[in-house]
Structure 1
Amino acid sequence: MKNRMLISIASTLLAFASCKSDVADTATPPSTGTPPNSTSPVETNPPNATYSPAFAGQTRVTGVRSTTSYESKVLTTALTSPWGITSLPDGRLLITEKAGTMRIATTTGQLGQPITGIPTVNPAGQGGLLGVRVDPAFATNRTVYWVFSEPMADGNLTAVAKGQLSQNESRIENVTVIYRATPAYRGTAHYGGRIVIDQTGNLLISTGERSDLVTRPQAQSLNSGLGKIIRITKEGVATTGNPLASQAGARPELYTYGHRNPQGLALHPVTGDLWQSEHGPRGGDEINRIQPGANYGWPTITYGLEYSGSRVGDGIQQRQGLEQPVYYWDPVVSPSGMTFYSGNRIPEWQNNLFIGALSGMHIVRLVIENNRVIGEERLLANEGQRFRDLTQGTDGALYAITDGGRLYRIDRR
């Protein structure tokens, strides 16, 4: 396998080492400078909408390029529509496959047999077995948490389950569904589906608003589990002190609302802040820094258009009391799973946010300073792969999975 190093200059990504493998919230502090090794913005295609950003640097920020020589390796191509990836304490990787199985992969690409015992999922459309995390005490309790699209008598919904991985790693035992984002709906899109465990040991889960015009308004309803970030205990109970619990009619598990299809969640390694990626419609993909209790605006405000090209609702992008995205894309890149880099093997990447892009077919690297994006780079853009999720391994390398079944390792050369 040849090595690949991609740099971004204007709209072209040049390969130096090849690897043949496959009103608004404007109070955010300003950035303090231009990142080193800056280039023109990486996006040069015209936007779908003629909307103006709320502040400088909210979109099409300065491009950057990595100067550290790194390599990407395809470890395996034998996964089947992988969706979520996380590290086990021993350094191996636990991966979900959309149709309803989990697999364990070594960091050299050896795959274990499919893990059984998982409740039935509805894999149609955007559904299936989705995000996954292991308990911080997994070495002793062997507990795994995951999100999936659960078939119900009256439709499908985003559900959260937990269970214990058997000692022989062949099945999940003692499975319990601990949360369901009701109401169910007879559709197969916009489940959200990511999960992280915060510093207090509680679960944060993203749910979608199920896409269709009939369900879309539920993103703004505090009496619905759709289009939300929820925070629950490991037993599935609303966490004490959730920010919206005191509001009349609000569900106590709600943490934020006004989301469309949030497929990425990550905790900043220094501040502990929760960050989120969210699919827009035709334009308007977002990166948000999540503030407890905040309304992120969908479908009232958006930088995107309907797929038909018409405006969404009133066609507004700012309204008092609705949060602005830290960053947005138009045209879309379809941001999915993401992680912050906290390693020291590539120092210039420290605290940068790495995001899998589906329609963009690359990995996004965002340089963030004072909660603002000051640089963007596109990695692995010539692979022809839809990057679904990525994580930092216990060895400090980045591991990424693609819809096409690949597992990549990205690390210093």
Structure 2
Amino acid sequence: MRLAAALILALLSTAAQAADPTFDTSAGQVRVETVARGLDHPWSLAFLPDGRMLVTERPGRLRIVARDGALSPALEGVPKVFARSQAGLMDVILARDFAQSGTIFFCYAEAVSGGGRIAVARARLEQSATPRLADVTPIFHQKGPPSTGLNIGCRMAQAPDGNLFVTLGDHFAPKEDAQTLDNHIGKIVRITPDGKAPADNPFVGKPNALPEIWAYGLRNAQGLAFNPANGQVWEQEHGPMGGDEINIMVKGANYGWPQVSFGRNYDGTPVGTGKAHMDGVTDPIWHWTPSIAPSGMAFYTGDLFPAWKGSLFNGALKFALVSRLAMKDGKPAKEERMLQDLAERIRDVRQGPDGALYLLTDNSAGRILRMVPAQR
């Protein structure tokens, strides 16, 4: 009986693998497995030390996903979110000392008069029989005109010194807000784990400037990651019609929005000056024109795909694909587009502890996908 049961399980596993779609890539054929189903617009993914996953759903739920794909109930303790259009519960990351502290950080849209704004919270993940968040503490609130739910993307990354980088969209707000320093619109901020401005931030003590700002002139950032090759923080953002960008975030730098862009406004008119470059503005190191609507980014360091080590992976919403950027001299040099036939909007891309690439699909019946070599 045991032998028969084992044989049935093996056959079922083989049949499940055979049903998973395969795709040709520069690293050979890859198989895309479904790890979990039934997520409502999943936005961000973070791996727990035991291989389980924390996943945010845009309407305001945080779940733990078991290694077999089972979804926990929504965790208690998540603040009420402003869930409208692109806004809701967004990024989640584990603190660098998570193994000792159980601390996580997450960002979300909170309701304010006239719409929503980004808030960042710190919490402790209680992993009991009924997991929940405890000691939930908002540590940062965005200042500036609220969003109606558009261009409100938020990604986070924690530096080795413990400080947090947080991206903040331009909200389709009055055009020059991303260029002025008296608000957090169209900015990337750098804050301590308690939400304070580090003393060495570039605009600390400057008149009419918020001390949390690290860089400005951004539009709608959807990706943020540290480059393991050199420690630089890289950011990825949506342009309008064209001009999606990847930027290296330099202390105090201006990235130009809405004065310069490789794209055009949605009505076809030029953006700002109508130019792609301007004195005093830091150029992107890569741009997509036409726009692919990138979201989620991860540098690949694993062993499962040796040919892709050092590459930068980006999800794409509009073009429903995964973009791999090969590097040369520390910058993107060549693009490979893959999984187009999957026909899924890709919201997030993460490298798993097993070296596989994990993807979140952006729809009301969202999935967690795992990309692995087809032959192993």
Name the TM-score, length of structure 1 as normaliser. Answer: 0.83
Q: Determine the C-alpha separation between the residues in 2 that align with 1:184 and 1:178.
A: 19
The reply on whether 1:376 has 2:335 as its aligned counterpart is: yes
Report the more deviating stretch, 277-286 or 245-254: 245-254
Query: What's the counterpart of residue 273 of structure 1?
Result: 232
CA offset at residue 74 of structure 1?
Answer: 1.4
1:134-159 CA distance string (max 9 Å, x none): 11221221111001011023531111
Task: Give the direction of change, closer, same or farther, for the CA distance of 1:292–1:186 in structure 2 (3 Å limit).
Answer: closer
Q: Determine the C-alpha separation between the residues in 1 that align with 2:343 and 2:217.
A: 32
The reply on whether 1:84 has 2:101 as its aligned counterpart is: no
Query: What's the counterpart of residue 359 of structure 1?
Result: 318
Find the partner of 2:64 among 100, 104, 110: 104
Q: Aligned letter for 2:97? A: A
The reply on whether 1:149 has 2:109 as its aligned counterpart is: yes
Aligned-pair Cα RMSD in Å: 1.5
Q: Determine the C-alpha separation between the residues in 2 that align with 1:198 and 1:5.
A: 36
User: Alignment partner of 1:125: what SS?
Assistant: coil
* Native 8 Å contact 2:45 2:53 kept in 1: yes
Report the more deviating stretch, 287-296 or 152-161: 152-161
Query: How do residues 48-127 of structure 1 correspond to structure 2 at under 5 angstroms?
Result: 65-127=25-87
Q: Determine the C-alpha separation between the residues in 1 that align with 2:325 and 2:285.
A: 11
CA offset at residue 240 of structure 1?
Answer: 2.4
* Native 8 Å contact 1:363 1:378 kept in 2: yes
Q: Determine the C-alpha separation between the residues in 2 that align with 1:75 and 1:106.
A: 9
Name the TM-score, length of structure 2 as normaliser. Answer: 0.91
Q: Determine the C-alpha separation between the residues in 2 that align with 1:171 and 1:271.
A: 36
Q: Determine the C-alpha separation between the residues in 1 that align with 2:68 and 2:373.
A: 16
Query: How do residues 171-210 of structure 1 correspond to structure 2 at under 5 angstroms?
Result: 171-210=132-171
* Native 8 Å contact 2:115 2:149 kept in 1: no
1:279-320 CA distance string (max 9 Å, x none): 000111111111111100000100111111111122111111
Q: Which has the higher helix share?
A: 2
Query: What's the counterpart of residue 262 of structure 2?
Result: 303
CA offset at residue 357 of structure 1?
Answer: 0.4
User: Alignment partner of 2:291: what SS?
Assistant: coil
CA offset at residue 3 of structure 1?
Answer: 4.9
Find the partner of 2:95 among 135, 142, 153: 135
1:215-234 CA distance string (max 9 Å, x none): x3111111111101100010
Q: Aligned letter for 1:285? A: D
CA offset at residue 247 of structure 1?
Answer: 3.3
- Identity percentage of aligned residues: 38
Q: Determine the C-alpha separation between the residues in 1 that align with 2:202 and 2:309.
A: 31
1:188-236 CA distance string (max 9 Å, x none): 1111210111111111100001014x2x311111111110110001000
* Higher RCO structure (Cα 8 Å, ≥6 apart): 1
Query: What's the counterpart of residue 200 of structure 2?
Result: 241
1:335-392 CA distance string (max 9 Å, x none): 1111111112211111111111000101111111223221111121111111001211
CA offset at residue 242 of structure 1?
Answer: 1.1
Q: Aligned letter for 1:144? A: I
Query: What's the counterpart of residue 349 of structure 1?
Result: 308
1:26-79 CA distance string (max 9 Å, x none): xxxxxxxxxxxxxxxxxxxxxxxxxxxxxxxxxxxxxxx513443211112211
Q: Determine the C-alpha separation between the residues in 1 that align with 2:35 and 2:261.
A: 38
Query: What's the counterpart of residue 45 of structure 1?
Result: none
Query: What's the counterpart of residue 320 of structure 1?
Result: 279
Q: Determine the C-alpha separation between the residues in 2 that align with 1:243 and 1:350.
A: 33
* Native 8 Å contact 2:84 2:148 kept in 1: no
Q: Aligned letter for 2:98? A: F
* Native 8 Å contact 1:326 1:371 kept in 2: no
* Native 8 Å contact 2:47 2:54 kept in 1: yes
Query: What's the counterpart of residue 247 of structure 2?
Result: 288
- Structure 2: which 5+ residue stretches go unaligned? 1-16
CA offset at residue 268 of structure 1?
Answer: 0.8
